[in-house]
Amino acid sequence: MLRFRLLRPEAKRGIVRRLALAWFLSLSLCLLSVGWPVAESWLSLSLPWRAEVLPLVLAPAMLLAILWTLWFGIALGGMLALLSALFAAWMMHFSLPFILLAGATHLLALLILYLGYRAVPMRPDLSSGKNLLFFLMMVTVSATFASLDVLVGIYARHAGYAELLNLWLGRWLGLLANFVLLVPLLWRYGRRIEHALDTLSWLTRRRVRLTYSLWTTALLLFALLLYVFLAVRLHGAYVEQAFFHFDRIGWPTVALSALQVLQVIHIVLSVLVVFIAYFFYQILQHWTGTLKRTASQLRLLNQKLAELALTDELTGLYNRRHFMAMAKRELANAERHGMPCSLLLIDIDHFKWVNDHYGHLAGDQVLRILGRLLPVLLRPSDLAARYGGEELVVLLRHTPLDEAQEVAERIRQAIAVQTYPDLPASLRVTVSLGVAESRVAEPDLDWLIERTDRALYRAKNGGRNRIECDPGA
């Protein structure tokens, strides 16, 4: 009932209105967190590192943008992060190109996060270790590329490269701290929120597609190359600046400083490479599994098509075309080995009367039940098929005429006492049978069928519910 109400047009309009109100409230909080000095002081922390202090800044705007991106898509979450980043850059008096570039870094980070969760079938509910590991991997990569706005800011202000490294490292750790704060929330309430959003499929529209995997791969490679380029430029500029002032700080200090910068870059780059490799592994595992399932489904469909091409859909017996091909091979093989074969033609008595009085569905049920009964009365090596309409045909391998007559009698008696569940209990169906044995000198299947058909004609004219044999004289 709840799902039905959520799908009603007025319910959709109400949900959209509430969603718009929640988004504007989130935007207000984001702008307040980046524009109010008191909020900035509350969210700023300091972390000792290498006899210096790293400015660790929490970013509620990015935190809210991640939640909106994970649950409602890149349009709402990306717009939230973009407007917050543009406002923060404007508050810091950046020029217009650097303002746009700072917003682009946040949008790139969220786009990678959004596409990553649509490239593989993962859910951000952290209900399993696999989901948790994937979430940590995605947010680490996103934090790395979202922190590139610090590079933009320092270049815009022409600050020193030592300050650049400290600010960038602090920004990266601050974003990671933001994402870590999401872990308890998603672990505790993620599954409930996911179940609630499942009822709003018209709003979220989550699908795993190959195009998302390709776009995510391209963005990750581009972002990784961008990070390597900036890191190399940063290290070169840092070392150049240190060598320029080596007369004051000394050669050992220059070498140690360059090595420490290189270590930081190497650690972050290693984390990126490991997580991106894990992401590629998840993509490969997902699409390999998808291909295996698709191949398995295709095999089942091919088997089903092969069965439909060989069998009669109603009775489950072989169809006439397949029976004729198999029977010709069996007769040729019997001729080579000098073994007899016998053919039975079975005609349901008064079948038109059953259709007229009980309906064609009743006639179909009679054929269906007889199609299941006939193989039980035969050997696995015998061939049974629907010859046409209400006629069935059986080829008995290596069976002379007298034994074939006994099989025919067993079939006639079994059908005479057969009941039909959905039809009146008084209904009894009988059959007439014609039997003929193949001749070694005349192994032609058409001639054998014609002689068997003459025997069947005599059985029907003789009163039905009986057997007539063609001795082949």
Task: Catalogue the active-site residues.
Answer: 390
Rg over alpha carbons for the chain, rounded to the nearest Å, is: 40
CA 355 from chain centre, in angstroms, equals 46
Rounded CA gap, 52 and 133, in Å?
A: 32
Distances from the Cα of 340 to the Cαs of 29, 72, 381, 436, 454, in angstroms? 93, 75, 14, 11, 20
* 56 neighbors 47 (Cβ within 8 angstroms): yes
74-93 burial, b at 16+ Cβ within 10 Å, e below that, comes to: bebbbbbbbbbbbbbbeeee
* 366 neighbors 315 (Cβ within 8 angstroms): no
Rounded CA gap, 55 and 48, in Å?
A: 9
Distances from the Cα of 18 to the Cαs of 11, 12, 21, 245, 280, in angstroms? 11, 10, 5, 59, 37
Nearest CA to 203 out of 42, 11, 418, 66 is that of: 11
Distances from the Cα of 109 to the Cαs of 23, 27, 144, 169, in angstroms? 20, 18, 8, 16
Distances from the Cα of 353 to the Cαs of 314, 340, 416, 456, in angstroms? 19, 37, 16, 19
Q: What are the start-end ranges of the E strands in 133-188?
A: none
